[in-house]
């Protein structure tokens, strides 16, 4: 039995080579892999002994030779193939162990040059992997060091079954596909965010407790993107306490973390079922929590709380006996973490703020995928326009701009009531906007008096504004653009309400 070993990641290599040698396998290798095996005292030959040709072009060409690929690709069950190998003096290769040049690690370093990137594009490795994986009924292909021990065990027991070989082949093709995806990402023009063809690289982080419901399986995958290698968010979060995360925990946690981190001021967001039900900004983080919680204390139970500052003991104490599924923050004071860990069932995560660079929203539909840029329009690109007789006061304008940032984190049709940079009521996910206003008013109660309103899209009729005015709203911000804008503005004027148009909307489906 003959094997070619040529790996970039040398974890477990020596033990694997030693195990193969013990089983009588002839090992051939190249470059640094050859040197490492030889230094360990394991018998190894050079691939040049197979090809009869030295490595050329600074090692760019080592294994691209008929003696290598003929030995890998020949079908042992086809007599003509076996005869041709004999005629050409080629010996079959039975095992190929390869993992590829560290392209991702190279291009994600600071100040990497294009030439450095190009030199780390592996050619011979993927070619051998694809050849071995194509011929898996006859060749064992290994790309993952985690498979070294199982492969040795298979060989000790007489060889790998067809099913085992197929599993290894699938991993090899996937390994190459992820590699090619990374190269394509790097070479693509950053401005070409929606190219004609696109592949996405995903690597499983862990299985979730279950899917959206207990009868569904679920898992959490991290997107591998060389243009945004440290995206922050939950994909790189560290769990400090609590039971394993569920599918819904991650969805809601992502919504809460994005909402909290969308604000520069100290901010706390509370999310339930993908909707922000509590959100407040305040220089006093404990006060921000009190105001966020007061926005909807009933819905807060069993929700997710996200805090865009280091959690202090004062904040930890404020959470009291309220049950949260998850708490997310960039860090925790030691005494705060000690107190929070007394909540046995609450998961505590430490996460970095999400980076939106090269980040896309993706939504699965039957037979396809909808892809769009994230809703991250800079404030300076908005042209606010007061359209009513009365202009908003400075306090109203501050709350309107705060509400406009909040509303993009609420499911459409979305209405938020805001007072003193705190969400006091919201209506979400309704098929008509006026119902969302009624829901926001019901949630806010007396707190609606003197509050302002933000709407993620225009009011198609004046009824929404009239309902808001009846609840006590004094100012509103909405995109504008309805054919009935004049009627809506007239309703605001009739109720001495200030209204500002943004010219953009914040649909979230």
Domains in the chain and their CATH numbers? 2-187 (3.40.50.1380), 237-350 (3.40.140.20), 383-501 (3.40.140.20)
Which of 58-62, 300-304, 455-459 comes out lowest in average pLDDT?
A: 58-62
273 is catalytic: yes
On the CB side of 196, CA atoms within 13 Å amount to: 0
Residue 358 has pLDDT above 70, yes or no: no
Can 134 be counted among the known catalytic residues?
yes
**Over the range 290-312, which residues count as b (16 or more CB within 10 Å of their CB) and which as e?**
bbbbebbeebbeebbbbbbbebb
347-350 and 238-241 beta bridge pairing:
antiparallel
- Output the CA–CA distances (angstroms, integers) from residue 485 to 310, 373, 385, 400, 491, in the order listed: 44, 28, 13, 19, 10
Tell me how far apart the terminal alpha carbons of the chain are, to the nearest angstrom: 57
Say if residue 55's pLDDT is above 80.
no
Q: How much of the chain, in percent, has pLDDT values that exceed 90?
A: 66
| pLDDT score of 357 more than 70 | no
Q: What percent of the chain has pLDDT over 70?
A: 99
Determine the pLDDT at residue 105.
85
The residues, any chain, with a CB within 8 Å of residue 2's CB and separated by 6 or more, are 25, 26, 28, 71, 91, 92, 93, 94, 95
Catalytic residue among 10, 273, 317, 355: 273
Residue 26 — very low, low, confident or very high, per pLDDT cuts 50/70/90? Answer: very high
Marked catalytic residue, from 45, 81, 134, 355: 134
Nearest-angstrom CA–CA distance, 142 and 151: 8
Residue of 507, 480, 498 whose CA lies nearest to 399: 498
Q: Which pTM was predicted?
A: 0.85
Q: What is d(CA 501, CA 110) in angstroms, rounded to the nearest whole number?
A: 42
392's tokens: 């908003």
Contacts of 313 (CB under 8 A, 6+ apart): 333, 335, 336, 339
Q: How does pLDDT run across 69-125, given as a tens digit for each residue?
A: 888 988 888 888 988 888 888 888 999 999 887 888 888 888 888 888 888 888 888
Lowest mean pLDDT among 69-78, 357-366, 436-445: 357-366
């Amino acid at each position: 039995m003959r094997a070619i070993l040529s790996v970039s990641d040398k974890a477990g290599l020596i033990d694997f080579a030693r195990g193969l040698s013990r089983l009588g396998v002839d090992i051939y290798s190249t470059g640094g892999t050859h040197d490492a095996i030889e230094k360990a005292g394991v018998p190894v030959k050079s691939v040049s002994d197979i090809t009869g040709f030295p490595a050329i072009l600074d090692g760019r060409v080592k294994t691209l030779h008929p003696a290598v690929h003929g030995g890998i690709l020949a079908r042992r069950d086809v007599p003509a193939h076996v005869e041709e190998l004999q005629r050409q003096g080629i010996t079959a290769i039975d095992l190929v162990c390869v993992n590829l040049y560290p392209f991702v690690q190279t291009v994600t370093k600071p100040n990497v040059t294009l030439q450095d990137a190009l030199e780390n594009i592996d050619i011979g490795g993927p070619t051998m992997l694809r050849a071995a994986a194509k011929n898996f009924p006859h060749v064992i292909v290994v790309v993952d060091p985690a498979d070294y021990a199982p492969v040795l065990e298979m060989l000790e027991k007489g060889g790998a079954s067809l099913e085992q070989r197929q599993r290894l082949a699938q991993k090899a093709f996937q390994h190459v596909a992820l590699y090619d995806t990374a190269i394509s990402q790097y070479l693509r023009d950053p401005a070409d965010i929606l190219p004609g063809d696109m592949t996405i690289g995903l690597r499983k982080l862990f299985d979730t407790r279950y899917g959206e419901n207990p009868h569904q399986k679920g898992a959490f995958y991290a997107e591998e993107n060389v243009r945004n290698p440290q995206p922050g968010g939950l994909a790189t979060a560290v769990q400090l306490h609590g039971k394993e995360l569920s599918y819904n925990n991650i969805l809601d946690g992502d919504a809460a973390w994005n909402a909290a981190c969308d604000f520069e001021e100290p901010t706390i967001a509370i999310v339930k079922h993908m909707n922000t039900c509590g959100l407040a900004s305040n220089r006093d983080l404990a006060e921000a929590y009190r105001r966020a919680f007061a926005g909807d204390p009933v819905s807060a139970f069993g929700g997710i709380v996200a805090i865009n500052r280091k959690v202090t003991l004062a904040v930890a104490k404020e959470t009291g006996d309220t049950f949260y599924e998850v708490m997310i923050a960039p860090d925790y004071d030691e005494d705060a973490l000690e107190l929070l860990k007394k909540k046995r069932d609450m998961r505590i995560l430490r996460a970095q703020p999400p980076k939106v660079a090269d980040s896309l929203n993706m939504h699965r539909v039957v037979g396809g995928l909808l892809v769009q840029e994230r809703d991250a329009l800079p404030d300076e690109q908005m042209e606010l326009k007061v359209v009513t007789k009365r202009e908003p006061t400075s306090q109203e304008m501050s709350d309107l701009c705060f509400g406009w940032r909040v509303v993009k984190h609420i499911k459409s049709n979305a209405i938020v009531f805001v007072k003193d940079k705190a969400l006091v009521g919201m209506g979400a996910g309704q098929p008509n906007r006026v119902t969302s206003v009624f829901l926001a008013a019901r949630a806010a109660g007396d707190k609606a008096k003197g509050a302002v309103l933000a709407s993620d899209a225009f009011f198609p009729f004046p009824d929404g504004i009239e309902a808001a005015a009846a609840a006590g709203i004094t100012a509103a911000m909405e995109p504008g653009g309805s054919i009935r804008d004049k009627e809506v503005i007239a309703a605001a004027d009739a109720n001495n309400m200030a209204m500002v148009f943004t010219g953009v909307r914040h649909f979230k489906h």
